[in-house]
Amino acid sequence: MMVKSYHRSYGLPVLVTRGNNVYGPRQYPEKLIPKMIMMLQRNKKLTVHGDGVSKRSYLHVKDVAAAFDIVLHKGVTGSTYNIGTAEEHSVIDIVKQIIRMMKPDVEPEKMIEHVRNRPFNDMRYFLDLRQLESLGWKETIKFDEGLKQTVDWFSVHGASFWDCCDLDSVLVAHPVPLVVPALVDSQASSGQPPAKKAKKVKFLVFGKTGWIGGMIGNLLTQKGFAWEWANSRLQDRESVERELLHSGCTHVMNAAGVTGRPNVDWCETHRQETIRVNVIGTLTLADLCAMHGIHMTNFATGCIFHYDQSKPEKVERDASLVAKDASKTFSEEDHPNFTGSFYSETKGYVENMLREFEHVLTLRVRMPIDGDVLCNKRNFIYKISHYNKVVNIPNSMTVLPELLPYAVEMALRRLTGIYNFCNPGAISHNQVLELYRDYIDPDFKWANFTIEEQAKVITAARSNNELSPHKMWKDLFFLREPSRGFAGLESCDQ
């Protein structure tokens, strides 16, 4: 309508086309037909959304291209042309047809798994083609013939053509559209496999000697990704840029920063060093990644909030310790409200600055926990089980072994913006220590003190808060939601 208004008002020579479902060789692998073929090649069950009775009209890509061509050369400016086919098939019938072509000896139903339907999945969209046909266009490739040709093409070339992508994350029940880095039009139209020209995913990881960085390195190795460590200092712009370019990375994982030893109190007395690394360094890296089109995942912190009147400590929580009223927890829209420590204050500034960078994924990590409760002094459980006295306040926490794989997944999907990167719910110090007693040391005893008493033995204040997990699990609905509350901590024990 907007485009046509320009034709009507200013005489702009416009042609409008309305396309329908397209299929054929080289199609993106998350689309129905290629996905089913490639899943079947891998002997995976074919996931059908809902009962699969919704109808689709698939037109072969060559006929679609011919339609564009004829509209371009013969179309009447200001007109609209539907591009489609009169043939309709239900999704389930298409899937069964593919199975019969590829595995004629198998009962199709045995290879099909019905999964949750997409919200608002259209039942049908059927187009009137008379306007296009009046230009002389005709469908030339019938669906049966085109499907056979597409199955043959994907069976031979599919995997190598699309090997620039992480097919494991695409060939799943509910994939999100692929982003193929550095794939430009001329390459796509050359008929050459984009895999040869598109940049392959490669990670560059900052935080080589650190806790979280080390875990990410292990994870990327386990998952078989191409990756390498960064060696430059974050604030050294020239060497960071050299390293970004030499590595040929498409993704940066930044788990570098000063965290203070033995704890964040160090930052109170080392303010310039803290600014140099955590502020100037992080922003330098983000800026360089922006300049070079590199996706950056920043392991930031959720310790930039503290309970206040609108988000109080005492709220009603459900059985899995999640606040019943999400508006009483800190969301990604909230801006930092805790400046009790210099570390948190600078992290808060940086988070706000990073909101302006469109390629940065900010993950708010909170009181991280790994499976090494007995020896890892950085582990929140180790820490509180070794203090003389502890406060007793519910907090969101990040169970690293459970959540770090999600960070990789989010980076691959090039998600950006801020996410509360924590397990759902808030668990108090005493609840954690009760588990410690139950699982690790039946004789374990501890003593509590108040925040005011705690303030006398630490230099800087500590943040306590519950972060809302809802954005992450809404955007990653196709992944399993991690354990809530107690279950999250218990999973560390496995």
Ligand X SMILES: NC(=O)c1ccc[n+]([C@@H]2O[C@H](COP(=O)([O-])OP(=O)(O)OC[C@H]3O[C@@H](n4cnc5c(N)ncnc54)[C@H](OP(=O)(O)O)[C@@H]3O)[C@@H](O)[C@H]2O)c1
Residue 114 interacts with ligand X (CB under 6 A): yes or no = no
- Please tell me whether residue 378 binds ligand X under the rule CB under 6 A: yes
Please report whether residue 255 would count as binding ligand X according to CB under 6 A: yes
Rank residues 49 and 233 by Cβ distance to ligand X and give the closer one: 233
The owner of tokens 């409760």 is 373
Alpha-helical (H) ranges within 223-281 are 237-247, 265-269, 271-274
CB 212, min distance to ligand X, A? 3
Applying CB under 6 A, among 111, 256, 381, 390 the residue interacting with ligand X is 256
Distance CA 443, CA 475 (A): 43
DSSP alpha helix (H) spans, 375-457: 380-386, 400-412, 429-439, 451-455
Q: What is the CA radius of gyration of the chain?
A: 27
Q: Taking the complex as a whole, how short is the minimal distance between the CB of residue 446 and ligand X, in angstroms?
A: 20
Q: Report helix, strand or coil for 488.
A: helix
- Residue 112: which of 32, 57, 36, 13 has the closest Cα? 36
Residues 394, 465: Cα–Cα separation, whole Å: 7
Q: Which residues contact 189 (CB under 8 A, 6 or more apart)?
A: none
Does residue 272 touch ligand X according to CB under 6 A? no
Residues 307-366 that bind ligand X (CB under 6 A): 365
Per rule CB under 6 A, is residue 207 in the interface with ligand X? Answer: yes
Q: Which of residues 134-163 bind ligand X (CB under 6 A)?
A: none
b/e for 165-176, b at 16 or more Cβ within 10 A? bbbebbbbbebb
Q: Which of 175, 257 has the CB closer to ligand X?
A: 257
Q: Which residues 6+ apart lie within 8 Å of 323 measured at CB?
A: 315, 316, 317, 329, 425, 426, 466, 468
277 binds ligand X (CB under 6 A): yes
Based on CB atoms, which residue is closest to ligand X, 167 or 215? 215
Question: Does the protein bind ligand X through residue 24 (CB under 6 A)?
Answer: no
Q: Which of 234, 252, 289, 321 binds ligand X (CB under 6 A)?
A: 234
Give the total of residues touching ligand X (CB under 6 A): 23
Q: Per rule CB under 6 A, is residue 257 in the interface with ligand X? A: yes
Q: Which of 58, 81, 137, 299 binds ligand X (CB under 6 A)?
A: 299
Choices 38-46, 229-237, 307-315, 325-333 (CB under 6 A): range interacting with ligand X: 229-237
Question: Are 27 and 34 a contacting pair, CB within 8 Å?
Answer: yes
Q: Which residues bind ligand X (CB under 6 A)?
A: 206-213, 233-235, 255-259, 277, 281, 299, 301, 365, 368, 378
